Amino acid sequence: MIPTLLFVAFIVLLLMGVPIGAALGLAGAACIALANADAQWFGLLAVPQNFYAGLGKYPLLAIPMFVLVGSIFDRSGVALRLVNFAVAIVGRGPGMLPLVAIAVAMFLGGISGSGPANAAAVGGVMILAMSRAGYPPAFSASVVGAAAATDILIPPSIAFIVYSVMVPGASVPALFAAGMIPGVMAGLALMIPAVWMARKHKMGTLEATMPRPAFWKSFREATWGLAAPVLILGGMRAGWFTPTEAAVVAVFYGLFVGMIIYRTIRVRDLFVILRESGELSAVILLVVSLAGIFAYSLSTLGVIDPLTRAIVGSGLGEYGVLALLILLLVTVGMFLDGVSIFLIFVPLLLPIVNHYQWDPVWFGVILTLKVALGQFTPPMAVNLMVSCRIAKVPMEATVRWVGWMLFSMAIVMVLVIAFPELALWLPRQLGY
């Protein structure tokens, strides 16, 4: 009775418009109180204890730092200089600006760990440039929203950090390495339909008439931005700092570039940057901590074991169960953000992962690929929300364009499922 009430209360609260974090915490706390009714208020002590336990994990310190990095690089002008350099390489012509947008978003994925932050940084530069070149705003928003989804696959990644604190045996460095090849594959897969659609529908007719930046000048201007992923990922690989420490290093590097080198960030801008980053970080970490209460109620009420036995005993087999989970997560990903999906479903899925002896790092990449798809799948696509706001178009206008890019990234997910070494080869080579 109480386990059923847990899910009913959670769904009802969501339908009432209660924020996802509050719904998780309230439903979990109510069921903990009912399950410990005989203990009076002593049973409720589990609520603050698990609130803190969900938050008191060292790797989570990296989340506000990487959010801050995304905000700093958004305002520093790094994205604009990377765009100019990319255009200098590939040149002008139909379909080239969408290709540049995806390439720059992939590169910024090695600096920031947040998809919406990436969409804001790339969209602020590319949507206006694509509009001037003759691309429809809805198409531009679709390309930027989809491209920013590679951010959570290409390290550093907030999604991987959240997953690592929930799953034993999946370290942050191993997950970062495992996401590299699938992340690059996802970016390349997005380029194909983006360029094809641009040329098929004769978009970007004015692009060929626009000037091409000088190669060496744009390279010099982009050097500081190009060095950022090398510093962050190379420093972690060399053992100079942990992923959490790398986030702090990235913050100071971004401030140095923005305030000293480019001089696009002034002292008075720091308050706005810190406020925006603090608000976003607080939302993420509050959801994480409230989900700790929900996860505790799941385990103490005995929900997970019967559910696991039902799924394993369904007769679908290993790949049938995996297909069922992907279908479930595809559907859920249309309505919930990635961090919420991890926090709700990883405790439920972990026993299934252990039963079939799936590699937790490989499964983390599969789950993150699904989350990446959800970030630009209408109607609740966080990346598309950002890019559509910049392009000033309704999200419904992107459906005709974004479908092909969803299909392309789904193929990458199928390949990683069929060939696990695409995710596991690099961590193994690096000794993680």
Q: In 243-329, which ranges are E strands?
A: none
- Please name the amino acid found at residue 156: P
Question: pLDDT at position 371, please?
Answer: 82
Please report whether residue 20 resides in a domain: no
Range of the domain at 351: 61-429
311 CB-near residues (< 8 Å, 6+ apart):
321, 324, 352
Question: pLDDT at position 304, please?
Answer: 64
Please report whether residue 103 resides in a domain: yes
Question: pLDDT at position 186, please?
Answer: 94
Query: What is d(CA 319, CA 366) in angstroms, rounded to the nearest whole number?
Result: 13
Predicted confidence (pLDDT) per residue in 185-235, tens digit:
999 999 999 999 998 888 877 777 778 888 888 888 888 888 888 888 788
User: Which stretches of the chain score pLDDT less than 70?
Assistant: 1-3, 36-44, 58-59, 110-115, 299, 301-305, 307, 333-338, 379-380
Please report whether residue 50 resides in a domain: no
Please report whether residue 46 resides in a domain: no
Domain count across the chain:
1
Please report whether residue 44 resides in a domain: no
Determine the distance from the C-alpha atom of residue 338 to the mean position of all C-alpha atoms in its chain, rounded to a whole number.
Answer: 6
Please report whether residue 41 resides in a domain: no
77 CB-near residues (< 8 Å, 6+ apart):
258, 262, 264
Question: pLDDT at position 3, please?
Answer: 65
CB 208 within 8 A of CB 94: yes
Q: Which residue has the tokens 């299934």?
A: 352
Question: pLDDT at position 349, please?
Answer: 85
Please report whether residue 170 resides in a domain: yes
**What distances in angstroms separate CA 65 from CA 84, 89, 114, 195, 350, one per listed residue?**
27, 32, 11, 34, 28
